[in-house]
Amino acid sequence: MSQISKIGVIGAGNMGSGIAQKIAQEGIQVVMVDMTDEFVERGMDTITKILSRNVDKGKMSEDDKHAVLERIKPSSGLNDMAAADFVVEAAIEKEDIKFQIFRDLDEICEANAILATNTSSIPIGRIAARTTRPEKVIGMHFMNPVPVMKLVEVIRGIATSEETFKVTWDLAEKFGKTPAKAED
């Protein structure tokens, strides 16, 4: 698999904004999408406040804060996921919503893009079945608060390929996380 250079995050709530922030802090371009501009703005406000606190505490410079924010593209259009090599879905824990997101991502994203879900309760195989690429669907369950907590569960669905698992595991490590293999 080619180098992952652009990541999409679906959801701008606590989990989604935390995931987007952490990815951007690691120097990677990220598109953060939610249903409305209001939700996306709220997510960006949350990220900005957290980064500002880090500046106040001397944990990062003002320039670093601005660099992180510039790596996050806020959007209310799912079509902006088209350029993503890897997408992490962190929408509300409702099957019908997640299933529709994955059906849409399957059509929007390039065939080689990996589609990950942050779900903690819906089987990965059930989500993967909504796509034409079940081998490229995986669970990537972050712990809250994402920028602080180290653990990320990497959850293989029944059809998830070894390559998809390896790319996801390596990404978790690149994000400064401690990946742990979990069963679906």
CA distances from 124 to 27, 107, 114, 116, 153 (A): 28, 18, 13, 9, 12
Reported as a pLDDT band with limits 50, 70 and 90, residue 174 is: very high
Active site residue 141: yes
pLDDT tens digits along 141-162: 999 999 999 999 999 999 999 9
Q: Which two tokens stand for residue 100?
A: 């529709």
d(CA 163, CA 114): 10
Q: Percent helix, strand and coil across the chain, each rounded to 5?
A: 45, 20, 35
pLDDT tens digits along 42-98: 999 999 999 999 999 999 999 999 999 999 999 999 999 999 999 999 999 999 999
For residue 2, pLDDT beyond 70: no
List the catalytic residue out of 130, 141, 156, 177.
Answer: 141
For residue 131, pLDDT beyond 70: yes
List all residues 6 or more positions away from 66 whose beta carbon is below 8 Å from its beta carbon. Answer: none
Reported as a pLDDT band with limits 50, 70 and 90, residue 120 is: confident
Look at residue 34 and give its three-state secondary structure.
coil
Q: Which two tokens stand for residue 170?
A: 């390596």
pLDDT of residue 26: 93
pLDDT of residue 1: 40
pLDDT tens digits along 6-58: 999 999 999 999 999 999 999 999 999 999 999 999 999 999 999 999 999 99
Tell me, rounded to whole angstroms, the distance of Cα 182 from its chain centroid.
Answer: 18
d(CA 6, CA 20): 11
Q: Please, what sign has the CA dihedral across residues 121, 97, 130, 3? A: negative
For residue 127, pLDDT beyond 90: yes
